[in-house]
Amino acid sequence: MSDRSELLDAVPDSLPDGFALFNTSDEVVVWNQAAEAITGYAGMELLKKPVPRALEGLGTAKDRPEELQPESHHLSGRGVFVKVQHKLGHEVPVIMRMLVLRDGLGSRIGTAAVFHPAENLDALPHGYEGEDGRAAASQTDLEDKISIEFEDSKRDGLPFGVLWIGVDQAPDLRKTHGVGACQAMLEKVEHALAQGLRPSEEIGRWGEDEFLVIAHERSAEMLGAQGRMLAGLARTADFRWWGDRVSVTVSIGAAQIDSDQDETLAKLLERAREAFQSSMSGGGNALTCAPGGKTCLPS
């Protein structure tokens, strides 16, 4: 019996992710070594105490919105992006999954949380943000999604890539017809692009002037093919302003996740941005695949 108990005690500290258990009073019951490393708080400081204010992002079940309280009995959700404060005072972005633990009668007996560090989204390369410096409203949601899906893909070895897309006519239209005309065109193009997305893909503004597509194609070649198809859809966007029809074309940079263990989301996005800039500098209406800045599958 003692061997079994020792094995169970050793399990939390063997996990690579932070792991915490809370009782029905939302006091910390288990706080593993990975959680200590991520937050700077030692288990002995927290055991049998409520979660400190600095770690409220990890939260407890009774204080969380219903959508963050998965009722399944396994940690298979996409997770949520939260920020906690390290004991030394700096902010730590983490991706967390939470499980409400229930007994056979359905009564809550505790909560489990599994979490690991996420990249600081403020450090990610973004697109043009407009003259007033305002990022598009949809960018925040996309930041959370891309961070979570990148971490999941890297951990599970799943395919992951991004398409960085800019409308070639946007800068000139802004100068000649103003911001309103440019925004109307971008909305038209985004709607056209969305028609070609697979169910697992996401699109959103990446800054005010550009788009980012999260894709899960199995290879760089397939990602490029998807980019080419989206470029064709963009050309079908029938945009008119005061009777004048504007022919729309897009420049695209495609980047697929690298199997290198040092791969980060920032590196992936930087490769996509460089590929996008290569498409733009070559005159637009092109798709460039990273690495190498090689123009591929011209649109």
Label the pairing between strands 210-215 and 202-205.
Answer: antiparallel
CA angle 214, 216, 220 (to 5 degrees): 100
User: Quick count: other Cβ atoms within 10 Å of Cβ 134?
Assistant: 11
pLDDT number for residue 221 = 92
Residue 207 CA, distance from chain mean position: 15
Q: At what angle do helices 138-156 and 265-281 cross, to 10 degrees?
A: 120
User: Quick count: other Cβ atoms within 10 Å of Cβ 197?
Assistant: 16
Rg (C-alpha) for the chain, rounded Å, is: 23
144 shares its domain with 174: yes
237 shares its domain with 260: yes
237 shares its domain with 263: yes
Label the pairing between strands 287-289 and 250-256.
Answer: parallel
CATH number at residue 67: 3.30.450.20
pLDDT number for residue 130 = 61
174 shares its domain with 221: yes
pLDDT number for residue 69 = 40
**C-alpha to C-alpha distances, 256 to 112, 139, 167, 270, 288, nearest whole angstrom:** 33, 21, 21, 11, 12
Tell me, what DSSP letter sits at residue 205?
A: E
Residue 36: phi and psi, rounded to 5, are -60, -45
pLDDT number for residue 299 = 47
Tell me, what DSSP letter sits at residue 209?
A: S
The last residue of a domain, from among 102, 117, 132:
117
195 shares its domain with 286: yes
pLDDT number for residue 59 = 63
* 3-state secondary structure at position 236: coil
pTM: 0.73
Range of the domain at 240: 121-295
25 shares its domain with 81: yes
Average pLDDT by consecutive 10-residue portion of the chain (299 residues)? Answer: 70 90 90 94 91 78 42 47 88 87 90 85 75 59 87 87 95 88 91 93 89 94 95 90 87 89 87 94 92 52
207 shares its domain with 291: yes
Tell me, what DSSP letter sits at residue 73?
A: S
66 shares its domain with 183: no
Tell me, what DSSP letter sits at residue 10?
A: H
pLDDT number for residue 54 = 85
The last residue of a domain, from among 99, 117, 135:
117
Residue at 209: amino acid letter: D
- Cis check: omega of the bond before 291, within 30 degrees of 0: yes
90 shares its domain with 70: yes
* 3-state secondary structure at position 265: helix
The last residue of a domain, from among 54, 86, 117:
117
CA angle 7, 10, 14 (to 5 degrees): 125
Spatial distance between the Cα atoms of 299 and 126, rounded to a whole number of angstroms: 24
Domain count across the chain = 2
pLDDT number for residue 121 = 72
Label the pairing between strands 91-102 and 108-117.
Answer: antiparallel
175 shares its domain with 87: no
CATH number at residue 135: 3.30.70.270
**C-alpha to C-alpha distances, 104 to 62, 92, 123, nearest whole angstrom:** 19, 36, 45
